[in-house]
Amino acid sequence: MHPVIEREQLSPNVVRLVIEAPRIAKVRRPGQFVIVRKGPGAERIPLTIADNDAEAGTITLMIQAIGRSTTELTNLQVGEAIQDVAGPLGSETHLLASGHAVCVGGGVGTAVLLPIVRALSEAGVHVTSVIGGRSKEWVILEKELTELGDVVTCTDDGSYGRHGFVTEALKDLLDAGGVDAVYAIGPVPMMKAVSNLTLPYAVPTTVSLNAIMVDGTGMCGGCRVTIDGETKYACVDGPEFDAHKVNFGELADRLTTYRPFEQQALDKLGACATTEVKS
């Protein structure tokens, strides 16, 4: 069992959990993830390790409540526990050695971006983080990222920071020149837009693919993606890939495979939570 040590609500549907996982905390690298299972019969969910404390034996997970399983995880309180945490899995991030990196995060993708920004900053790379949300309440980790470099904050409705999409702020940075690499993590349409934007500038661009995963070892094949015309497995070959080689259309289609079943499970969870039991 992996007890929850700390819990923090970052946005209306994103929660930060610090859990005990001493063996993972000792060896985890930026870009790697774990697969968690809340309890018997629960779904296996891949989650990026946002931070680790080897001395305390803890790892940090930032979870967005979308379906039934993620909602159940975000409902966990301090003192409760996750039964299974397997990892660290996946390949670590290939970090820029020097120069200027722009890290673009959309929504909960900002949480996945945090360990990359931290590792780049610690290596002496100049980092500009471009983060976004629908409105101010959906912007997360701005304070933490500001401690590691420059930050441009965007909101769709203009309620905070710059009015507009993260891609618009990224274009301004690219036009100004001096960008040596871009890391983008967020919804598939956002990552695709970033990839299309950086291609004419010939700026190396890395994305983290949120493909469907089950076992995290490449055995099930559920996370297969097409990279430069070849089949790769996000759990072992990734989850990070060269954005300019990703077949985003195929990835988007595959992510909808289980959507009706996910909605049914979420509806049942809501029914259970609201049904009044009469004696």
Looking up residue 157, the CATH number of its domain turns out to be 3.40.50.80
* pLDDT at residue number 219: 79
Q: Where is the domain boundary, 89, 122, 155?
A: 89
Asked if 135 and 68 sit in the same domain, the reply is no
Please count the structural domains in the chain.
2
Residue 270 covered by a domain: no
* pLDDT at residue number 275: 44
Q: Is 60 in contact with 18 (CB distance < 8 Å)?
A: yes
Residue 249 covered by a domain: yes
What CATH number corresponds to the domain at position 8?
2.40.30.10
Residue 238 covered by a domain: yes
Asked if 104 and 47 sit in the same domain, the reply is no
Residue 95 covered by a domain: no
* pLDDT at residue number 260: 60
Asked if 158 and 183 sit in the same domain, the reply is yes
* pLDDT at residue number 178: 94
pLDDT in tens, 77-134: 999 999 999 989 988 888 999 999 999 998 888 988 998 999 999 999 999 999 998 8
Residue 37 covered by a domain: yes
Residue 268 covered by a domain: no
* pLDDT at residue number 255: 74
Asked if 191 and 246 sit in the same domain, the reply is yes
- The residues of the chain scoring below 70 in pLDDT are 257-279
Instruction: Give residue 62's domain range.
Output: 2-89
Residue 279 covered by a domain: no
Q: Where is the domain boundary, 27, 58, 89?
A: 89
From residue 1, alpha-carbon distances to 18, 54, 83 in Å are 13, 18, 4
Asked if 31 and 84 sit in the same domain, the reply is yes
